Amino acid sequence: MENEEKRRVYFLRKETQKAAFPIRMAAYERLALFLERITPNQLIVRVNSQGLTVRQYQNLLVKNIRNEFEHNVSQQLYVSDKAWRYVVSAKSGVVGKINQIAKEMDPETPAIELATKLLNHFMELDVEPTRAALYYLKNEIANEF
Q: Show me where the domains of the chain are located.
A: 22-144
Does the structure show a pLDDT above 80 at 67? Answer: yes
Consecutive H or E run containing 32: helix 2-38
| Cα 112 to Cα 117: distance, rounded to the nearest angstrom | 9
Query: Is 12 a residue whose pLDDT tops 80?
Result: no
| Residue range 94-134, pLDDT digits in tens | 999 999 999 999 999 999 999 999 999 998 988 889 999 99
**Positive/negative CA dihedral, 28, 29, 32, 33:** negative
The pLDDT-based confidence of 13 (bands split at 50, 70, 90) is confident
pLDDT on residue 16? 65
Whether residue 119 contacts residue 44, with contact meaning beta carbons closer than 8 Å, is answered with yes
Query: Tens of pLDDT along 20-30?
Result: 788 999 999 99
Q: What pTM was computed for the model?
A: 0.85
For the packed helices 2-38 and 81-103, what is the interaxial angle rounded to 10 degrees? 20
